[in-house]
Structures are given as structure tokens and as C-alpha cells.
Chain A
Amino acid sequence: MEVEIKVNGEDWALSVAPADVLLDVLREQVGTKSPKIGCERGDCGSCTILMDGRTVRSCLVLAVEAERHEITTVEGISFEGLSPLQDVFLSSNAFQCGFCAPGIVLSATELLEQNPDPSRHDVQEALAGNLCRCTGYEPIIEAVLEAAKGGSA
């Protein structure tokens, strides 16, 4: 099937099978590698993308479902330099292996768009679907709260 998808502001016309999941198509056909393959069943959040501004698991979306939707990955929010949120993540050494980072950056970005003044619980809620095995989350939560204090993401 032919589908048209906008990825990071760019229009793509792609030929996909109905059984192709969006995650694989983004990685293999669009070349957008920041959404990662972690569990392929919606449990880990590594494949998180923004679809029309909201986080979704790209492993649980068929590529054909993304037709006429706008996809944003972490590459797309870094075009004009790092976001204030990314700046704090960087300066506070918030991540370790970094595999979960693209998904967490997007989940936190969505949170700060929806709720510029989140509580610690709100941050935990927003990040609870993004598994990180390295950090124990504490530095990530702290960084999101700090970014929120510093203004919008």
C-alpha cells in the first residue's frame, strides 16, 4: 500500500505492507533511528514517537494507520538546537546508556507541553511507560522538574 506520512516536517510517500509496523518503517524506510526496538509490544517505551503531538508507541501502530498524520522524533525537536529540556538532561548527566533517552525526551516534552508546571508525581506518571534500567529514574525526574522551573520546554 502507498501511504503518505509527514516525519519531522518532511513529507514521505512510502510503500508498505499492512503488517508493517510504524516503528520498523520509520527506522528502515525513513532512516529515523532514534525510536528504538526494545520489546515490540508496548511495554518499554523505547519506540515512543509523537504522533500529532502526542506520544504513542510506534511498535503498536501499523504504518498504514499513520497516513496523513504528523510524526515527530527526537531528531525533529533538535533541528534548531537542543530544547531547554534537553539542555538540562545534558548538563545534569541524566542518562547513562542512552537507549531509552529518545523516548524519555519525547514523553517529557509532551508532559511539559500539556502541563508546564508538573509535580514530581506528574513527571513520574508521564515517564512511567518509558523503562530505563540504568539510572533509577531519579536524575531524569529531577531534570524534568528543573527544566519546568526554567520555563517551557
Chain B
Amino acid sequence: MTTTYPFDAESKDDELKSVGTPAVRIDGLEKISGAAEFVDDIDFGPGLLHAAIVESPHAFARILSIDTTAAEQAKGVVKVVTGKDFPYKFGMYMEDRYIFAQDHVRFAGEQVAGVIARSHREAVQAAALIEVDYEVLEPLLDPKEAFAEEADLIHPDLGDYTHVPWFFPKADTNIAHWRKIRKGDTEKAFAEADFVLEDTYRVPRYAHCAIEPHVTVSKLDHADRLTVWTASQSPHTQRHLFAEALAPLGFTHKDVRVITPYIGGGFGGKAGVSMEIMGAAMATLVKGRPVKVRWTREQEFYNTYQRQGVIAELKVGVMNDGTITAVQHRLYWDAGAYVEYGANVVNAAGLSATGPYRVPNITNDSLCMYTNLPPGGPYRGFGYSEFHFGLESHMDRIAEAIGMDAVEFRRKNAIVEGDELSYGAHMNPSGLIEAIDKTAAAIDWGVEETSDNPDTVIGKGMALFWKAPAMPPNASSASFLKFNEDGSINITVSGMELGQGYLTVMAQIASEVLTVPVDKIRVETPDTDRNPYEWQTVASHVTWSSGLAVQKAAIEAREKIFDVIHQVYGYEDDSLYLENETVRCKTDPEFVKPLREFVIDGIQTEEGTWRGGPIIASGKFMPEFTNANSDPETGQGGHPNVHYTVGATGVVLEIDKDTGRVWVRKAALAVDAGRAINPDLVKGQIVGGLVQGLATVLYEDMRFDEGGKMMNPNFTDYKIPTAFDIPDEIIPIIVEVPQPDGPFGARGVGEHTMIAAAPVIANAVYNALGTRIKSMPVTQEKIAMAFREQQT
């Protein structure tokens, strides 16, 4: 049984002109010339104010008093704010945060007060004068300790929090959400299995490290309109959360406007609402003056969303022929002090923690644990990278234990179209087998390679990945499209250009339908007053969802074009088609009407009157087959995910046995894009995502001291890849098994490319040295020391 999709997107494989071509990015020129404007580049004139934030040095403490007297009197200071000024809760999926701390701080770095001053320097100087008295409490830094029955409560009022219906918080515990999956009879399956492997894998926290730090400028004008310019992936979601949180001040949605120019990378870190709400709130107290809050690199590390850590307890049962019969995956997520967004990462992982395999018996427990570390949240991969580390390490170990080739084992169990998913719905069409085969071939799987260097050895690894967009079941996209006098097009959407090439892909989709070349289409970055709704640019869903909205708008525009032609010339609509920016007619080969001649001014009839007028159109898309209503105890009954994107990653690496240093000599990654609207941009996602993923396994690592304070909030000690830290060769492989409801068959690929990077390295290290590392990162130090121990 397969899912039926209500919207059958048009796809004319053989005739595509724009879709499927490596079009030059429509934002390329701005970016290489220095013209691209980011929030911090916008001039706000001499009235601009700057804010500095006072932060808690403690991971868990009660605020006894805050003395702002000296700061208020300091030079240049316009306003000092504390939690008392904004006793309002907010949150994406669960309202568990305040704009500024109220009576408690729950992580080191949490905002306690803000100083608004005429210069940045004066704001920072005055912020240092604010004195906060704390009663320091013992922080909980480990999710399993937080789970313990006797653990102190980080949120004693959890039972009262407002949250989405698919979360199941446990009052009077630190469990903010518990996603359970119960399918089949796991116990029985383990008892009957020929081989069962059980182990624990650990994954630490990671930072997004967009090179542009978070920055926001907010202004409440004298007519009470609040405008927020922000580096965000989520303009409409931000407007919604600002309007809701600040509703007690009298704001409605129409009073709040969010403008998002280009952003310097997101990776999930700029989704939802984090520091931006401080700016929006502070601006309400200095009417008429724009207020800038720009995060330092340090704040970017410790007070935005972080990728959550996890302790993964995994048990898998197989038969001797290699059939997986049962998976039990218990994930303790270190979700941090506030889980308003991160709890949905936990949810998504829980739904899919079997990986891309056909598994008849499943017990998944994905536990969202409050801890006194910075708030967890979305990060490229959304929980999947984390659980794939253990899962795909485990698959290699099982294959070896039962004497089966690791690729053959995966191939045998790989999920295919129609297979039942853990929550009872069915798998979408997928090119997983093709991806496995092509990846294995690219790295010459099965062919042993030896090094000429006596100090080094060579290893190979493979790992699979899958991921579905994690969204509310009714997350939607919309678009407006209008023609200009010369036949060029402006499209407004509210997806964000994060660098992935979204604007270009939207232009290509419209170009395909309307035959207007991509370089005659401008797609604008969002302004919530002008651009139509988009939920957020996350979940690798905008090519699919926003792409469908743009495709529908283009189809609507085409219908309007044909309608005008029909009115004036009498040709039936279904005889008309577009070609090279003209309208043509199948029944009258002589008929040619260039679009630029009528898309604004219309067409004059024989009697001298006019028909038509500006061609404008809109499109929207909401998946109408999803629902999040499932049994809280079993997870069965709903259809929470729209579809999965799948693929495989393989590496050949060389390791220095003495130093542990790893060189990735070759990496291959195959991802099923359904349809690559722009293969150049898909390859960009493959290479960029893979390098980001390799960094998480080879050296990146957030480190916290015993008090919960981050020790390496800078690029000196949180190492992200440089131009030297890339594989010698990357082989991007695009698989195209169309998504039936995708625009021209496309589905998202952005996050997926980093998901299997960690286990593929762990597997290749094992292959090279016989050393199995079960905690990330797999650093050169860990490899060298483990290998050394193994030798003695």
C-alpha cells in the first residue's frame, strides 16, 4: 500500500528546459561583488541604539536581586530592562521561556537584563555595572541524571505549560516530552532472534557556526508599528511569536512586521525565535528609536540554539540470514534549559529512530530531558545525525558478527516504497537501493586498499541515512507572482535564501512553467507585510513545499494568460501552450503572441477595447494528508511525516597509526533528490553538508565545565573546517526517483547530506584499525589512544 497524494504535480520529464539545469544563482552577482546586504549592513541613521545583554554566569540559580542603578546613570544609557519589564512567556512548540529571566536562570549565559545605549561601547560598559545577586543551585548537566526519580526539577511548573498536542510532558519530572513508538512485539522478536547486539553510543552538543552571528534591529515607530529586521530563517514564525508574546502590550499581527534580507548561513540556528525576541521587546520601551542587538561569536555559541547531545541505548535483533527483526532505541536527549523548539527534534528522532530499514518490531523511547545547559534546538539533520551515529555503527557491527558484508546487510533490510513505517503509514518511493549501489561502487567497496606509507593504514566505511521534514502537519507555503511590462517576473515568497539556492530554484520552477528565462525572474527575500506566508525555511521542505506554491502560482498565471488569448482570439485554452516567452497554439502554427506585448497592458480587440491587464497570480501549498494524532503510548495511527529523503555515504580514509590523524581520501554521497531542480545546487548541498558532517565527527565538540559553562565558545577552540579540512575527493551522486507530489518530482536534500557522516567515519576507522569508537567526536586523539591501548 502506498500513500496517495492529493496533488499530482506536473512533470514532463523529457521536455524540461529550466528545471534540471545548473542555472547560475540569481543571487550570485550580489554575493561576489559585496553588494549583498545582510541585517548588520543596513543603515539606520544617527538614531540607532545599541543593546548589551547581562548574562547569568551560573547554570542554575535563583535571582535574589538585580541592581541597575549605576547602569541607568552611566554615560549614553537610554534604558535598562530586566525580566520585570516583560513577564511574558513564549515558545515555538511549548511555551517554556521568558524574554528575560524571571526568578530563575537555567543555563550559563541566560539573559538577565539589557542595557540600551547610544553606542555599542556605552551599552557594554554600562552592562558591566549591573549587579545581580544569585542563590546558586546545583545544575543538572546529564540527561540520565535529569531522568532519575530523585532529580531536582528544572521546571517545577511543567505541568502547566502550553504545548502542541503531539507532545507528552510528564509533570513533576524533567521529562518535557516522551515520544514512544510501540510496534509489533519487540520482546518476543529479541527472544527469537539469532543474534542480538546491545550497546550505548554518546553524542555531544554541536554548534551551527553560521559565519554571520545573530543580529536584529527592532523599531517601534510613533504610530505603534513594530518592525524587526532580523537574520532569521523564519520571518512569519517570528512575527507570529513576537505578536503572541507581546500581545499584552496591545500588538496584533498586523502591527508587527519582520523583514529578513540575506542571512549569512542558518543550519537551523536561525530558525524559530531565540535572541531576536529581546530586541523586539526592548524596542517597545524606546519608541521611535531602532535598537540593534548583535550577538558576539561567544553569545552565538552559548545563547542560541545548540544541537542537542544524546545518549543512545540501542538493541537490535537479527536472524542468521541478515533479516532485522527488532529495534529498541532509547534516546536520552540533553535538550537543555528550554525545549520550546528542541522537543520537536526529540519527537522527530523518536518517529524515525529505526533508520531507513524495514523493521517489524519496534520500541522507541525518545526522551526530551531538561538540563541546565543552553537550549537545544534545530540543527541541520534535526536529531537524525545524532541517532544515525549509533544506529549505523551498530549495523556494521551486526553484519560483522553474523558474517555478512555490511553493504549486503543494509541492502537486504533497506526500506522500499510501501514498507510500513514505525507509526503505521507507508514509505514513499525511494532510490535507496540505487544510492547504496552507486555509493559502494564509487568507493570500490569490497576492494581492499593498502598504504605505501608504513605509518598509515587505509579503511573504508559505508552508512545510510534517511530523514523526513519535521513540521506541524499543516505547515504551509504561499507565493505571489506578477509580470512586469517587459515580460520579466517578480516572485514574492517567504522562504529564506540561506545559501542553499532557494531563490534560484524558485525562479527555475516558475521559468519552467512560464518559459521566461531565470535571469528575467527576480525572487525577493521576505517582508511579512508584503510577501505571502511561509511557515519556516527548515526541515529541507521549501524546495518541495514552497516550490509547489510557486509552481501553482505559475500555473495560475499561465491559465490567466491563456484566458486572455481565448477572450481575444477565441483559441481554446487547451490548444494553447507557452514557448520562449510567447503564447503558441497547437491548432494554428502561425499564431505567436509574445508575453511582453500583453502581460501588463492587455490585448486590444478588433473593436478597439482591451482585454486582460496585469497578470498576477498566487499559489499555496499545504500537505492535506498528514496528521499528528497518534496514540501517545504507541505512536500508532497518525501520519506525521510527509515523506522521507534517503541516501548513502561512503568514505575511503587513511589513518596514521601513531598520531590517529585521519585523511579522508575519497568520499561519495548519493542522495535521492526526486528531481534535482538545479544539479549544481544539489551538489553544493552534498559537498557542503558532508564537510559539515565530517567536522562533527572528526573534531568539533562543545565542551562545558563542571558548572555548565561552555569552555570553547570561539573558533580558536571550537574548530570548524578550513580549506585544508576537506576530503581529497568528493563524489556527489544524485539519484532521482521522483516524489509523486513534489514540484517536478523534487524533494529536499539540504539536511540529509550530513546525517551519515559520523557513522561512516566510525565504520571506516574500525575497518582500518579494528578500533570501534562509540562516542563522538572520533578525534585523532581518541583514535590514537584507543589504538595504542588495543596494541598493549
Contact = CB atoms under 8 A, between A and B. Distances in A.
Contact of A133 (B501, B681, B684, B720): B720
A54 interface: no
A114 interface: no
A119 to B, nearest CB: 13
Contacts of A33: 34, 37, 41
A62 interface: no
A39 to B, nearest CB: 4
A98 B36 contact: yes
Nearest to A102: B34
Nearest to A126: B723
A-B residue pairs, 9 tightest by C-beta: A99-B264, A98-B31, A96-B499, A97-B499, A136-B691, A34-B34, A43-B715, A74-B34, A33-B41
A131 B41 contact: no
Contacts of A131: 209, 211, 715, 720, 722
B213 interface: yes
Contacts of A37: 40, 213, 294
Given A40-B296, A78-B34, 4 more contacts: A95-B32, A98-B264, A125-B723, A139-B684
Nearest to B691: A136
A38 B684 contact: no
A93 B714 CA distance: 29
Nearest to B40: A37
A46 interface: yes
Which of B684, B714, B721 has the most C-beta atoms of chain A within 10 angstroms of its own C-beta?
A: B684
A123 B723 CA distance: 8
A133 B29 contact: no
Given A38-B212, A82-B32, A101-B31, A134 B721 contact: no
Interface in B19-74: 22, 24-25, 27-34, 36-38, 40-41, 43
Contacts of B297: 38-41, 43-44
Classify chain A: how many residues form its interface, as a range: 35 or more
Contacts of B25: 93
B375 interface: no
Contacts of A124: 722-724
Nearest to A100: B211
Nearest to B678: A93
Contacts of A148: none
Given A33-B41, A101-B32, A131-B211, A138 B730 contact: yes
A95 B28 contact: yes
- Report whether over half of chain A's contact residues are helix, strand or loop; otherwise say mixed: loop
A113 B442 CA distance: 38
A43 B716 contact: yes
B622 interface: no
B688 A43 contact: no
Interface in A78-95: 78, 82, 86, 89-91, 93-95
Contacts of B30: 98
A99 B38 contact: yes
A102 B264 CA distance: 12
For A78, A128, A138, which residue has the most chain B Cβ atoms within 10 angstroms? A138
A9 interface: no
A86 to B, nearest CB: 5
A73 interface: yes
A128 B722 contact: yes
A99 B211 contact: yes
A133 B33 contact: no
B765 interface: no
Contacts of B284: none
B682 to A, nearest CB: 11
Interface size class of B (residues with CB under 8 A): 35 or more
Contact of A129 (B40, B209, B722): B722
Contact of B210 (A19, A27, A82, A97): A97
Interface in A30-66: 31, 33-34, 36-41, 43-44, 46
A75 B32 contact: no
Given A124-B724, A135-B687, A41 B34 contact: no
A134 B723 contact: no
Contacts of A73: 34
A134 B499 contact: yes
Contacts of A75: 33-34
Interface string B115-140: 00000010000000000000000000
Nearest to B29: A90
Interface in A116-151: 123-125, 127-141
Contacts of A22: none
**Among A75, A90, A94, A96, which residue has the most Cβ atoms of chain B within 10 A?**
A96
B38 A95 contact: no
B211 A136 contact: no
A65 B678 CA distance: 47
Given A33-B37, A93-B681, A136 B726 contact: yes
A71 interface: no
B505 to A, nearest CB: 12
B692 A133 contact: yes
A93 B692 contact: no
A35 B372 CA distance: 36
A153 interface: no
A105 interface: yes
A97 B681 CA distance: 12
A97 B730 contact: no
| Most chain A CB neighbours (cut-off 10 Å) among B30, B500, B688, B726 | B688
A39 B213 CA distance: 8
Nearest to B500: A96
Given A43-B716, A137-B726, A138-B730, A38 B28 contact: no
Contacts of A96: 265, 498-501, 684, 688
Interface string A13-39: 000000100000001000101101111
Interface string B682-718: 0010011111100000000000000000000011100
